[in-house]
Amino acid sequence: MNILDKIVADKRTEVDFKKSLIPVLQLEHSVLFENETISLVNKLKNSSSGIIAEHKRRSPSKSTINQDTNVFDVAKGYQSAGVCGMSVLTDGKYFGGALDDLLIARASCKLPLLRKEFIIDEYQIIEAKAFGADAILLIAAILTKAEIKQFSELAKRLNLEVLLEIHNEDELHKSVMPSLDMVGVNNRNLKTFDVSLDISKHLSELIPNDFIKVSESGINSVEAIKELQPYGYKGFLIGENFMKTDNAGESAKQFIQDLER
């Protein structure tokens, strides 16, 4: 059983438990459910940097990244750094995240917020809307084509944008459909955790131009972004590079300044 299978198995148990505690109707009555969403797509289209900065405490590949982080400060810092959007990891067991992180981020910044989660149930999409997200992540590796269609169409009905994450050609071919907004290429091999930007380069020409292209994982230098921009990438998801420092916002600010020089 690889790490992804393990995470998904635990996620199913977790979601079933949550459904028994908080019914969908209760989520739909939350204050934030009627909030107008902020478009991450528009921000990426009109940006020269395309940075989506992540809030992440730890990960299975790196264990602890930053346990002392304060979401409020990180969100404020990212906003003043001029990033396009903020990705908030809400998985607790493997990434040390929480839905409350999304709520706090929503209360402390006006950035488009991406809920980064292992979504395997419609419930989590309704939950994302109720907790202030503007966009959701769907991971092709853990979903069938029918599920990608079902989940992305529900997201559209809730005015949430959809970033679909792929790792290879097979995942791309089964996933391309009009209810997606962005296609993210994860440069990390989920079985070995090896990272290579060649994955983004190879898949770039296969992704239809109707979608914003986002590169994820292993982007830890200005050079990496400059290397990928000619391949049509408008978005770059960066977490660890900022989060491992004492001040994620300041680190993001410096990075963007260096990039735009």
Q: Catalytic positions, please?
A: 54, 56, 116, 165, 186, 216-217
- What interhelical angle do 122-130 and 3-21 show, nearest 10? 70
Rg (CA), the chain: 17
Separation between Cα atoms, residue 191 and residue 208, nearest integer Å:
27
- Indicate the helix (H) or strand (E) that contains 216: strand 212-216
Separation between Cα atoms, residue 206 and residue 213, nearest integer Å:
11
Contacts of 133 (CB under 8 A, 6+ apart): 88, 102, 106, 113, 114, 115, 160
Distance of CA 38 to the CA centre of its chain: 15
Label residue 176 left, alpha or beta by phi (over 0 means left) and psi (-120 to 50 means alpha).
Answer: beta
* CA angle at 155 for the pair 232 and 7, rounded to the nearest 5°: 85
The residue assigned the tokens 């239809």 is 208
